[in-house]
Amino acid sequence: MKTLKLTAAFALTLMSLNTFAQTVRSSDENGNEINDPNLNSVSPHCCAGKIAGSNVVGFSPFHFSENGIGLSLSWEKLLDKDGILSFQLPFSATFNMNNSDALGRQTNEDPMFYVYPGIKIYPKSAFGKVKYAIGPSLVLGAGQKTQTNYGNYPYSNYTEETVSKTVFGILVNNSLNITPSPKTYIGIEFGLGFTYLNYEGGDRKPMQTLVQGGFKFGYRF
């Protein structure tokens, strides 16, 4: 029931922000208001010379989470003609490269796979060369975790157990968005949050800090 309430609250927030963004008046480069009732969606020709298209497909060769480092793919869609609000859907995979036993030997890399559906709010519009954005995202992650149980000195007696791991939570992202040319995109992002549900091997664990971020580039269309 609590999970449903959290999801419903997130959905209501998205709907409210979308309604707000649709009511914001657009302006041209001279600061004059544009009141065109026919502009019901983002025009790919809006703010010509600055940005082209309302969709961005991005790829991050360096992505990190609380689990480790990896890579990610993402899709972003502007939701209003002024470029204030967008929906984003990133997918990522990270691996724990620091997982070692008592003897310093590398053990299981414990992959984790995440999806981060969320929204981005551009306080001064997404149209421009360099823009800042902030917004919340839900976090759903699934993978595994290897636990090492140490014995007595000299640590020769230890056992390892690999269990399933699932997390559900929320985080807030901050991003710097750069548009070098109308169809290219470069982004730097960092998000911080916490788990609402955290299960390891079927057992519920205490709340865990969630982080995600990295460098990405993409194509705008």
Report the CATH number that the domain containing residue 127 is assigned in CATH: 2.40.160.20
Q: Is 150 within a domain?
A: yes
Q: How many structural domains comprise the chain?
A: 1
Residue 96 lies in a domain: yes
Average pLDDT, integer, range 16-39: 44
The pLDDT of residue 158: 67
pLDDT of 162 reads 87
Domain range for 19 is 2-23+46-220
**Predicted pLDDT of residue 99:** 64
DSSP class of residue 200? E
Residue 91 maps to a domain: yes
Mean of the per-residue pLDDT values of the chain? 80
User: Is pLDDT of 48 > 50?
Assistant: no
> Could you report the per-residue pLDDT of 135-148, keeping only the tens digit for each?
999 999 999 998 77
**Model pTM greater than 0.85?**
no
Q: Is residue 36 part of a domain?
A: no
- Per the CB < 8 A criterion, the answer to whether 136 and 6 are in contact is no
Residue at 207 is within a domain: yes
**pLDDT tens readout for residues 71-117:** 999 999 999 999 999 999 999 999 997 766 555 555 678 999 999 99
pLDDT at position 147, please? 76
Q: In this predicted structure, what is the pLDDT of residue 100?
A: 61
Nearest to 218 by CA among 180, 191, 192: 180
pLDDT grade for 37, boundaries at 50, 70 and 90: very low
Is residue 158, in this structure, part of any structural domain at all? Answer: yes
Range of lowest pLDDT (150-164, 168-182, 207-221): 150-164
What residue has token string 């929320």? 170
| Longest pairwise C-alpha distance within the chain | 76
Residue 40 lies in a domain: no
Is 37 a domain residue?
Answer: no
> In Å, how far are 66, 71, 154, 158 from 93, measured between CA atoms?
12, 6, 35, 29
